[in-house]
Chain A
């Protein structure tokens, strides 16, 4: 399904708006918005696969993007040899023991016939496993975290090229999604929502708390970037001559060039994903998915294994979210677990998908651009609006100050209103499914 003239027009308008931002505000801002829009577009694409193709309601996007972000640290950061020497083996052994405990419990559950004895056996296995695991894991963790805690205190990564972290981030997210999907798919549709909401909170809790893994709330900064940093670009002669031609300062030019480098990489990823997604959607597989979405009962009657198909698409969509999460962390060059908020990373993506048009890949992309643009621009607009409303008051008025300070929350309000208006008046979105 290609784009109609109307869709192209919508994209052109969006491009023109971004160009205006570059002209009237600043080129850096335009590039920042562009890059984050591209990443959001990939997340929205992942969600659209789950919701638009299969009707699965995932409210754990934040968790999947964060897991993807973790991959960047584990792949690109240099390892910390002292930490590995101090407790690396203990940690690995502890993790394996933990997994073995759960597997043992599953085996007991499968092998024994349902009875009280089975309950006790499972409980015993879990308690024993927990005690052994924490006996091995606890001291190792403490030892690792004690290694140079101001700058390290974690195991570090594999020191591989950072680009490699992107697919790995997708794989990590896919693994988490498989676990969640296995448990909650096949039950009521709302249950998946609650389960994903839960797992995303847990992922963030793990990232914040397990300092040996990625330094927790101390953040990992200075991660390798796939594109030269603006500071490294500034001395380049071609950047300087470009700055002269454009009449911008050198630092501004360097940051725009660096940003555009990311844009190019992100565009390539997005293009590949869209191509794949469109191919899949228009293949027999895509028709089957839509048949399942539109009428599960008939699809089941046709012999389709609905739960398995759901699991498959849930894993795929989450992997795309993980990929986007990894891209975001490698753009920022840092992993900050404290910055993951459900409103920003889960529900905002949902607004993008609904506003853009669920079931249509191009719609998700457009929705991501529109909503991210609003998200960035509503705050200054809100401040301006509040300024206007309160201009009659004295500058020292407490109410005026309060309203000006809280202008930032206007964006939440705007997003909610946008979502509700779209649901009510154009439930099929800006670019409807065809």
Chain B
């Protein structure tokens, strides 16, 4: 029985990756939930816009690297993020002006807007692939580990090692900062309050002189910031492949629905639930249990509930359970 080793093992292989993944999902799901509460449609282009934003950051990173500008130990991509955000703000505002604005003005059904977002998804997807191709691009540089398995072992003297990759640490820290800032913005600033008012009751907000187009513009801007951050952090952590970003759509939506569509805090909680469930159920627990069980009783199988290929099944199962038992989500989102 070596519970300490078990704890280290589960932290290293499951808790840290799940926490990082959950943070990335949370930033994405926040964008989905914001668009849903202000513009009132399910934004299907989210995954692909995230990919395009990351592509812009990668472009910036490569440019900076070629100039020999870097951040020392930190990834150069962090310097390129403002550029990516700028590109995506312009892109999303252009998409809004060219596509969504018209449907808003004619008061089209929500599903027409969803359809339009499919069109934007195709275009974005095409643009991303024109620049990046379909293969994997790695753009993580700087110091890869905050501490490695060996350093940890030497420091603690445990048999089981633990490593913390800088990408994971950056992800978690950035996500926490962004969430705090976002909540401060939504609850304390005039623009944030007008957003919440508009989301609560559109007519009343219009009557009190809130300019809807301004609210929409702010929403897209915040979404762009969240998108670029989520995409870049995901890319730093796992490498950039456009298709993976498309596939993030399902867990992000699951997170937003689970937390309650339209509720920012719900999106965050939902994202972590999805991430931990996905990782926990597809994780091979054998190693952990071999430390926990008394000698002679170590498990012989992998102790893996589902193969990793089925991580979508986990997301889906969570989604189904929520839909069946609590369609409004954990934090009572909007149900139309």
Q: Are B249 and A202 in contact (CB under 8 A)?
A: no
Q: Are A201 and B120 in contact (CB under 8 A)?
A: no
Q: Are A205 and B122 in contact (CB under 8 A)?
A: no
Q: Are B122 and A343 in contact (CB under 8 A)?
A: yes
Q: How far is the CB of B38 from chain A (nearest CB, A)?
A: 15
A190, A209, A350: the one within 8 Å of B118 (CB): A350
Point out the residues of chain A lying under 8 angstroms from B111, CB to CB: 55, 57, 189-190
Within 8 A of B (CB), among A229-279: none
Point out the residues of chain B lying under 8 angstroms from A205, CB to CB: 309-310, 312-313
> Which chain B residue has the least Cβ–Cβ distance from A208?
B309
Which of B11-19, B124-132, B213-221 lies at the interface? Answer: B124-132
- Cα distance A413–B319 in the bound complex, in angstroms: 31
Known contacts being A194-B319, A197-B250, A198-B316, is A188 close to B335, with CB within 8 Å? yes
- Cα distance A123–B112 in the bound complex, in angstroms: 41
Proximity string of chain B (88-130) to chain A, C-beta cutoff 8 Å, 1 when within and 0 when not: 0000000000110011000000111011101111111111011
Point out the residues of chain A lying under 8 angstroms from B320, CB to CB: 183-184, 195
Proximity string of chain B (310-336) to chain A, C-beta cutoff 8 Å, 1 when within and 0 when not: 101101100110011001000000011
Q: How far is the CB of B245 from chain A (nearest CB, A)?
A: 13
Known contacts being A423-B115, A423-B119, is A412 close to B125, with CB within 8 Å? yes
Q: Are A194 and B254 in contact (CB under 8 A)?
A: yes
Q: How far is the CB of B35 from chain A (nearest CB, A)?
A: 12
Q: Are B115 and A188 in contact (CB under 8 A)?
A: no
Q: How far is the CB of B47 from chain A (nearest CB, A)?
A: 11
Within 8 A of A (CB), among B36-90: 41-42, 44
- Cα distance A130–B336 in the bound complex, in angstroms: 36
Q: Are B102 and A424 in contact (CB under 8 A)?
A: yes
Does A199 interact with chain B (Cβ within 8 Å)? yes
B110, B305, B310: the one within 8 Å of A209 (CB): B310
Point out the residues of chain A lying under 8 angstroms from B127, CB to CB: 413
Q: Are B42 and A193 in contact (CB under 8 A)?
A: yes
Known contacts being A406-B129, A423-B116, is A415 close to B313, with CB within 8 Å? no
Q: Are B110 and A190 in contact (CB under 8 A)?
A: yes
Q: Are B254 and A343 in contact (CB under 8 A)?
A: no
> Which chain B residue has the least Cβ–Cβ distance from A194?
B253
> Which chain B residue has the least Cβ–Cβ distance from A416?
B122
A184, A342, A403: the one within 8 Å of B323 (CB): A184
Question: Which of B122, B123, B254 neighbours the largest number of chain A CB atoms within 10 Å of its CB?
Answer: B122
Point out the residues of chain B lying under 8 angstroms from A55, CB to CB: 111
- Cα distance A228–B4 in the bound complex, in angstroms: 67
Q: Are A410 and B313 in contact (CB under 8 A)?
A: no
Does A405 interact with chain B (Cβ within 8 Å)? yes
Does B25 interact with chain A (Cβ within 8 Å)? no
Q: Are B257 and A194 in contact (CB under 8 A)?
A: yes
Point out the residues of chain A lying under 8 angstroms from B131, CB to CB: 406
Question: Which of B112, B118, B247 neighbours the largest number of chain A CB atoms within 10 Å of its CB?
Answer: B118
For the side of the interface on A, what is the size category?
35 or more
Q: How far is the CB of B273 from chain A (nearest CB, A)?
A: 16
Does A354 interact with chain B (Cβ within 8 Å)? yes
Q: Are A420 and B110 in contact (CB under 8 A)?
A: no
> Which chain B residue has the least Cβ–Cβ distance from A217?
B309
Q: How far is the CB of A94 from chain B (nearest CB, A)?
A: 15
Q: How far is the CB of B257 from chain A (nearest CB, A)?
A: 7
Q: How far is the CB of B308 from chain A (nearest CB, A)?
A: 9
Q: Are B122 and A202 in contact (CB under 8 A)?
A: no
- Cα distance A427–B115 in the bound complex, in angstroms: 11
Q: Are A416 and B125 in contact (CB under 8 A)?
A: yes
Q: Are B130 and A416 in contact (CB under 8 A)?
A: no
- Cα distance A202–B42 in the bound complex, in angstroms: 21
Does B294 interact with chain A (Cβ within 8 Å)? no
Known contacts being A405-B133, A409-B126, is A183 close to B250, with CB within 8 Å? no
Q: Are B114 and A198 in contact (CB under 8 A)?
A: no
Q: How far is the CB of B267 from chain A (nearest CB, A)?
A: 14
Q: How far is the CB of A359 from chain B (nearest CB, A)?
A: 13
- Cα distance A351–B92 in the bound complex, in angstroms: 22
Interface of B is mostly: helix
Q: How far is the CB of A361 from chain B (nearest CB, A)?
A: 19
Point out the residues of chain B lying under 8 angstroms from A130, CB to CB: 305
Q: Are B126 and A191 in contact (CB under 8 A)?
A: no
Does A419 interact with chain B (Cβ within 8 Å)? yes
Point out the residues of chain A lying under 8 angstroms from B310, CB to CB: 202, 205, 209
Q: Are B313 and A202 in contact (CB under 8 A)?
A: yes
Does A164 interact with chain B (Cβ within 8 Å)? no
B110, B118, B122, B254: the one within 8 Å of A198 (CB): B254
Point out the residues of chain A lying under 8 angstroms from B119, CB to CB: 416-417, 419-420, 423
Point out the residues of chain A lying under 8 angstroms from B118, CB to CB: 347, 350-351, 419
B122, B312, B335: the one within 8 Å of A415 (CB): B122
Q: Are B99 and A420 in contact (CB under 8 A)?
A: yes
> Which chain A residue has the least Cβ–Cβ distance from B313?
A202
> Which chain B residue has the least Cβ–Cβ distance from A189?
B111
Q: Are A420 and B123 in contact (CB under 8 A)?
A: yes
Does A187 interact with chain B (Cβ within 8 Å)? yes
- Cα distance A130–B303 in the bound complex, in angstroms: 12
Point out the residues of chain B lying under 8 angstroms from A424, CB to CB: 99, 102
- Cα distance A189–B42 in the bound complex, in angstroms: 10
Q: Are A343 and B309 in contact (CB under 8 A)?
A: no
> Which chain B residue has the least Cβ–Cβ distance from A191?
B323
Q: Are A427 and B125 in contact (CB under 8 A)?
A: no
Point out the residues of chain B lying under 8 angstroms from A427, CB to CB: 112
Proximity string of chain A (190-223) to chain B, C-beta cutoff 8 Å, 1 when within and 0 when not: 1101110111011001001100000000000000
Within 8 A of B (CB), among A399-415: 403, 405-406, 409-415
Point out the residues of chain A lying under 8 angstroms from B103, CB to CB: 423
Q: Are A409 and B129 in contact (CB under 8 A)?
A: yes
- Cα distance A209–B313 in the bound complex, in angstroms: 12
Q: How far is the CB of A311 from chain B (nearest CB, A)?
A: 15
Does B209 interact with chain A (Cβ within 8 Å)? no
Q: How far is the CB of B244 from chain A (nearest CB, A)?
A: 13
- Cα distance A219–B211 in the bound complex, in angstroms: 57
Known contacts being A201-B312, A416-B123, is A191 close to B114, with CB within 8 Å? no
Instruction: Using CB atoms and an 8 Å cutoff, list the residues of chain A in contact with chain B.
Output: 55, 57, 59, 130, 183-184, 187-191, 193-195, 197-199, 201-202, 205, 208-209, 342-343, 347, 350-351, 354, 403, 405-406, 409-417, 419-420, 423-424, 427
- 21 A-B contacts (beta carbon < 8 Å): A183-B324, A184-B323, A187-B335, A188-B335, A188-B336, A197-B250, A198-B319, A201-B316, A202-B310, A202-B313, A208-B309, A343-B125, A406-B131, A406-B133, A411-B126, A412-B122, A412-B129, A417-B119, A420-B98, A423-B103, A424-B102
With A190-B41, A350-B115, A406-B129 already in contact, 4 other A-B pairs whose C-beta atoms are closer than 8 Å: A184-B320, A184-B323, A187-B323, A409-B125
A-B pairs, top 5 by smallest CB distance, nearest first, are A416-B122, A413-B126, A416-B123, A412-B126, A409-B129
